[in-house]
Amino acid sequence: MKILVPVKRVIDANVKVRVKSDQSGVELANIKMAMNPFCEIAVEAALRMREAGQADEVIVVSAGVSQCHETLRTGLAMGADRAILIEDDQDLEPLVVAKLLKAVCEREEPGLVLLGKQAIDGDNNQTGQMLSALLGWSNATFASSIEVNDDHFKVTRELDSGLESVTANRPSVITVDLRLNEPRYASLPNIMKAKKKPMDKLTAADLGVDSSPRLQVVKVEEPPARQAGIKVSSAEELVDKLRNEAKVI
């Protein structure tokens, strides 16, 4: 089985995000970028399946600006076998990414596509679901464990109300949640080895996809600063404030 792992380049999770002065988006110039943390978990899950003999090849794929090759090199240094860069300077929407990934799936015919449950920049949580719908493949989201079987995957999903177990027939699109695993760090020798691993370069046109945006960002704003909290001295005072000041009960 081949496993395809789409990985997104996003602002590093430790960087404080700043809105551009013209409110057209967030500042990306000279900002540290990294692989989306949920995508790291997806890469780790794929590598563990290969190491357990359940997969033969792990392919990382990223769509976006040419610097996405750094994100792909990170995936290769973690242990992926090869990479595909779909280079495009537009701001790619989830539906476009899903169409690009569908075209890659038609070329590569993976048994499993493992994505992050969401990218921490746009918080869209859409790409995996759209990809499975476009392909007509089974879909399990928010996986906290994945068991590989001959013709299906048994997936435990994390819900607000608890855990749900589902089976997804192969081929399948699975999105991964935080508790699935703890991703490995790439060792220095593996970082060196990754430089020699193959990376194909494609464009949206090569894959027959129109990557132009359909959504227009009207304005991006910082969330309002949080007000300082207060301490109340009794339950009665709390109820009084909720009823008469906040007027929420």
- In the complex, which residues of this chain contact ligand AMP (CB under 6 A)? 6-8, 36, 38-39, 42, 62-64, 92, 94, 97, 115-116, 118-119, 122, 124-128
| Tokens (6 digits) for 129 | 């679901």
Distance of alpha carbon 17 from alpha carbon 6, whole angstroms: 23
Nearest distance from residue 150's CB to ligand AMP, in Å?
26
**198 contacts: CB under 8 Å, gap ≥ 6:** 82, 83
Estimate the crossing angle of helix 127-135 against helix 94-108, to 10 degrees: 50
| CB of 122 or CB of 184, closer to ligand AMP | 122
| CB of 220 or CB of 239, closer to ligand AMP | 220
Nearest distance from residue 96's CB to ligand AMP, in Å?
8
| Tokens (6 digits) for 125 | 């949580």
Tokens 């704003």 map to which residue?
A: 221
| CB of 96 or CB of 186, closer to ligand AMP | 96
Nearest distance from residue 241's CB to ligand AMP, in Å?
38
Distance of alpha carbon 29 from alpha carbon 91, whole angstroms: 15
Nearest distance from residue 235's CB to ligand AMP, in Å?
41
| CB of 37 or CB of 184, closer to ligand AMP | 37
| CB of 201 or CB of 243, closer to ligand AMP | 201
- φ/ψ of residue 14, rounded to 5: -90, -5
Return the closest-CA partner of residue 82 out of 56, 100, 117, 101.
56
Nearest distance from residue 245's CB to ligand AMP, in Å?
38
The partner residues of 141 in beta bridges, in order of sequence, read: none
